[in-house]
């Protein structure tokens, strides 16, 4: 039986044959596909691009948490690879360093070693972020040596100077990204440091592209047209 409703997700041909209730076969490239599976992928991508967390997908859309979590993790990995490849050999217009520390940790001195710093580069009206080595590995050494107070004072001076420089700078794409980053990161609570890179790249991706562009790119990276 011919089917004209869904284009082939692999070659975009508009005619396919119905094989059973779940599978169809493209009349051109002859590849098999499941409409249900594709529609589900599209739905998860749409929710991801519209900034729904995995918990929100469960609460508002009655989806399985484990399934959504695995999908989201895969999307972040695909995004990171895509952005790294896209940035390769691009001409940098300007760059600056950003220091991030969760608001709840800022008042405790020893938490300065948990700060994450990254470089933000401006190229072709987009941003690219490079995660820098953090100080967490030296935390115990600084505390054991009793120089936490001295380091904290120096770090505080740097943060103050850094903050002043941002205020005095004209608004640009880098500072706009930092604002976007701070607004976006708060919805993710308790991010593992090993995974911070992928969340940073997700935010970078969402800053650089509209929701429609994000959906199109992600759907293609997931293996479809």
pLDDT given for residue 124 in this prediction: 92
- The length of the chain, given as a count of residues: 225
pLDDT given for residue 107 in this prediction: 64
Per-residue three-class SS string for 162-197: HHHHHHHCCCCHHHHHHHHHHHHHCCCCCCCHHHHH
Q: At a CB cut-off of 8 Å and minimum separation 6, what does 140 contact?
A: none
pTM above 0.95, yes or no: no
pLDDT given for residue 170 in this prediction: 61
pLDDT at 215 over 50: yes
Which among 217, 171, 179 has a CA at the least distance from the CA of 49? 217
> Looking at the DSSP assignment, which residues form a beta bridge with residue 129?
120
Q: What is the pLDDT of residues 96-117, one digit of tens each?
A: 888 887 776 666 666 666 778 8
pLDDT at 203 over 90: yes
Q: What is the pLDDT of residues 12-70, one digit of tens each?
A: 888 888 887 678 888 898 988 888 888 888 999 999 999 999 999 999 999 999 999 99
Chain centroid to CA 61: how far? 22
The whole-angstrom separation of Cα 77 and Cα 165 is 33
The full set of domain ranges for the chain reads: 55-221
- Residue tagged 């995660």 (tokens): 131
pLDDT given for residue 88 in this prediction: 87
Q: Are 56 and 68 in contact (CB under 8 A)?
A: no
pLDDT given for residue 17 in this prediction: 81
């Amino acid at each position: 039986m011919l089917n004209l409703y869904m284009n082939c997700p692999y070659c975009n041909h508009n005619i396919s044959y119905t094989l059973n209730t779940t599978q169809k076969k493209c009349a051109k490239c002859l590849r098999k596909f499941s409409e249900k599976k594709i529609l589900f992928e599209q739905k998860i991508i749409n929710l991801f691009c519209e900034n729904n967390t995995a918990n929100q997908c469960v609460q508002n859309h009655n989806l399985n948490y484990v399934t959504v979590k695995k999908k989201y993790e895969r999307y972040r990995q695909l995004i990171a690879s895509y952005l790294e490849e896209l940035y390769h050999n691009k001409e940098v217009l300007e760059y600056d360093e950003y220091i991030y520390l969760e608001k709840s940790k800022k008042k405790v001195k020893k938490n300065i070693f948990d700060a994450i710093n990254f470089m933000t580069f401006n190229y072709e009206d987009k941003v690219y972020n490079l995660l820098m080595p953090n100080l967490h590995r030296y935390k115990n050494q600084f505390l054991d040596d009793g120089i936490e107070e001295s380091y904290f004072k120096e770090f505080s001076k740097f943060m103050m100077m850094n903050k002043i420089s941002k205020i005095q700078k004209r608004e640009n794409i880098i500072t706009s990204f930092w604002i976007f980053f701070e607004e976006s990161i708060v919805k993710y609570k308790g991010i593992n440091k090993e995974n911070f890179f992928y969340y940073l790249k997700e935010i970078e991706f969402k800053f650089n592209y509209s929701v429609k562009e994000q959906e199109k790119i992600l759907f293609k990276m997931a293996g479809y047209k």
